[in-house]
Structure 1
């Protein structure tokens, strides 16, 4: 690949930027990284390891270098205002079309935070108040926020979780998750991923209600609505 000349005059920073730019094309072994960047092997290896320490670079299951989770977190933080600005109308539309409460969750360390919500306008309200922190061990939103996580964090987060790696594989395949009494007895939910410009999952949009209304198979009724709402937010982030 051709590396553009964007020299800043700070050599080590320029070389680190070249490595990140090369990894934007996909996973790379050390040899492939050297070939793509033109850096000497010791330099490429040293910088890649340093970037890995800062979580700007990670590894896939084959041990190849990949872009790290910190980049997604920084991207999500940069896009937070546009995400929240677009979330209100989307959540209101989702609530109105399903008749159920709708929330937007973002991951923060080992918890997920409700950053926006639309309550039901009548009857029993099942929403989670904005600002509520919930564990990443249960619930359809937690499944969505973990399903596309990098391998190391993925398997660490599964320890003590109410769902399994097999379940999260199903989430990746379907593009949505459902939960029946997983976090709270008698409650059910369906969630879908919201993606940032880099295609990384930055949030989960969720429809929540009692099992007696959502049934034991909430996805059959609500998955398409949740996915459509998540896609609207994804498009809003891609074209702010």
Structure 2
């Protein structure tokens, strides 16, 4: 006779299914959700039934999608999160000073999620929705990945390399480790056409000692940020990251 799953294991499985729905870009059929969450189809179905009842999933004709209750949860986070409250005036000042779009990120597992943004003088050509999961090995994510514990950082680097940036640049494990080491030592990272072509980003971790609260980034079309201006923008971003860290409890 099978041993019933423990309550905590059931919670873990529910979050596994919810994570699959969060990452999906189109409705998913039950069999695909079960495969991606590594669950038996019957188990996935039971979990989905609960998520649908609670509003965290919706069943549509093509399959299942994340539900509106997730939006309410995200709103509660943004309203109550001290970091985003403290950061907003700093983001506004940074956007005005640099003319670039400023964004606040937090780490969620091995991804980064934007939780606040202020547009610059020339808004970026692409959409970057608040709450979208983005990689740690590209762009501003490097300022967060640089502060991962060494063992976790090495495992992450091994899992994502080698890869090719949108610019066509091939990145090996040694290349990425060197970049993350420099990002931590220098207190910032500069990204050129890494995730989006012809976009330059400058980022810095928001930290107190080894405690990382998030990362601050500014981004603009590369034509608006010549190499000669990088030092000035780096100084502004690091100053802003330090100001946010100092104001957080």
Identify the residue that residue 137 of structure 1 maps to in structure 2.
137
Identify the residue that residue 112 of structure 2 maps to in structure 1.
112
SS at match of 1:158: helix
Cα displacement string for residues 99-139 of structure 1 (whole angstroms, at most 9, x for unaligned residues): 0100001111121100110012x444357332222112211
Identify the residue that residue 101 of structure 1 maps to in structure 2.
101
1:188 aligns with 2:187: no
1:179 aligns with 2:191: yes
Runs of 4+ aligned structure 1 residues displaced above 4 Å come to none
Q: Is the 8 A contact 2:87 2:104 kept in 1?
A: yes
Identify the residue that residue 128 of structure 1 maps to in structure 2.
128
**1:154 offset after TM fit, Å?**
0.5
Q: Distance in 2 between matches of 1:107 and 1:118?
A: 19
**1:184 offset after TM fit, Å?**
1.2
1:155 aligns with 2:167: no
SS at match of 2:182: helix
Identify the residue that residue 245 of structure 2 maps to in structure 1.
234
Q: Distance in 2 between matches of 1:111 and 1:179?
A: 17
Q: Distance in 1 between matches of 2:182 and 2:122?
A: 33
Q: Which of 204, 207, 220 is equivalent to 1:209?
A: 220
- List alignment gaps of at least 5 residues for structure 2: 1-76, 162-170
SS at match of 2:201: strand
**1:156 offset after TM fit, Å?**
1.5
Identify the residue that residue 35 of structure 2 maps to in structure 1.
none
Identify the residue that residue 223 of structure 1 maps to in structure 2.
234
Q: Distance in 2 between matches of 1:218 and 1:152?
A: 35
Give the TM-score taking structure 2 as reference length.
0.58
Q: How many residues align?
A: 157
**1:143 offset after TM fit, Å?**
0.8
Q: Distance in 2 between matches of 1:174 and 1:134?
A: 23
Question: Taking structure 1 as reference, are residues 217 and 129 closer, same or farther at Cα in structure 2, changes over 3 Å only?
Answer: farther
Question: Taking structure 1 as reference, are residues 123 and 207 closer, same or farther at Cα in structure 2, changes over 3 Å only?
Answer: closer
